Amino acid sequence: MSSPANPAPTIGVFDSGFGGLTVLRALIDRMPGARFAFIGDTARLPYGSKSRRTIARYAVESAQFLVREQGAEFLVIACNTASALALDAIQDAVPVPVLGVIEPGASAARAASRTGDVLVIATDATVQSHAYAEACRAQGMRALEKACPLLVPLVEEGWTSHPVTAEVIGIYLDELNTEAAAHNLHADTLVLGCTHYPLLRPLIERVIARVGPSGMQVIDSAEAAAEAAVRLFNGRVAPTATGTAQPTEIRCFATDSVEKFERLGSRFLGRPVGHVELVDLGG
């Protein structure tokens, strides 16, 4: 929905919580002057340990809120778990184009990998769905996925450079490397398949330098999704592309404590989130 102040259509961005602000941040960097409505379903977070049926129900409610109540004309599903398990359900439920993060992540891996073998770290639900493995296979690659359930709470605790977090990452990557060797994979690319992991990227890169394999490239699915969104939406949503300079507009909604969202969200957005509005999507 455009407004007299800003003629650009609204891009709706959805996540299970505030981790998806990493995707919003990447979108803002690439689409200055666009209008964004972001909802974090913080009341029902985490999605990463829930079933497909529950994730789809929750995600559809948020998507419908963005389209019906905020007039979003495009949706970006920032949540890897919702993209992996509920993209079809969301696309069926709303009459606007919907972009998830899995395909862009796989495409970025395809562009980066020389061996065609990639590693993916993500939530338990994303890994169980094998959405990344399938997306990689469709692009001619082999992918090995690993659930890293301890990383989301560590990031939310703010322990993004803590030695305990480095230790945990080291254990996960060691296990992944052992498994990759057992499968005779020559992986040269690691996909960060969760909204929270971009905040761990410097630490992950330091750990890779220690445990190997050397030369491993790290793909941030938030950046990859933002690139794909620009390709899909540009011209229609980026006023800079049409020569008009509008201020970027951002409205943030959360389904639970707006104070916590405002406090923690700025870490993910890289700037103050500002005023967050509470919204009730039901149980």
Whether the Cβ atoms of residue 20 and residue 81 lie closer than 8 Å to each other: no
Identified binder of ligand DGL from the candidate list 37, 56, 63, 79, rule CB under 6 A: 79
Residue nearest to ligand DGL (CB): 48
Beta-strand ranges (E) seen in the chain are 10-15, 35-40, 72-77, 98-99, 117-122, 142-147, 189-193, 217-220, 249-254, 276-278
Is 129 a binding residue for ligand DGL by CB under 6 A? The answer is: no
**Is residue 262 exposed (0-12), middle (13-18) or buried (19+ Cβ within 10 Å)?**
middle
Least distance in Å: CB of 210 to ligand DGL? 26
- DSSP state at residue 234: T
Taking CB under 6 A as the rule, which mask of x and - marks residues 199-238 in contact with ligand DGL? ----------------------------------------
Within a 10 A sphere around the Cβ of 281, how many other Cβ atoms? 15
Least distance in Å: CB of 144 to ligand DGL? 18
Q: Which is nearer to ligand DGL, 12 or 17 (CB)?
A: 17
Identified binder of ligand DGL from the candidate list 196, 238, 252, 258, rule CB under 6 A: 196
* Segment interacting with ligand DGL (CB under 6 A) among 89-97, 164-172, 190-198, 231-239: 190-198
Identified binder of ligand DGL from the candidate list 9, 17, 239, 265, rule CB under 6 A: 17
- DSSP state at residue 239: G
- DSSP state at residue 2: -
- CA-based end-to-end distance of the chain: 27
* Segment interacting with ligand DGL (CB under 6 A) among 13-21, 64-72, 251-259, 262-270: 13-21
Residues in region 80-119 near ligand DGL by CB under 6 A: 80-81
Q: Can you tell me the distance from the alpha carbon of 75 to that of 4, in angstroms, rounded to the nearest whole number?
A: 22
Q: How large is the C-alpha radius of gyration of the chain?
A: 18
Q: Which is nearer to ligand DGL, 60 or 152 (CB)?
A: 152
Is 48 a binding residue for ligand DGL by CB under 6 A? The answer is: yes
Annotated catalytic residue, options 79, 136, 148, 252: 79
Closest CA to 69 of 5, 4, 12, 9: 12
Instruction: Verify whether residue 194 is a known catalytic residue.
Output: yes
Residue numbers annotated as active site: 79, 194
Give the footprint of ligand DGL on this chain (CB under 6 A). Answer: 15-17, 19, 45-48, 79-81, 123, 126, 152, 194-196
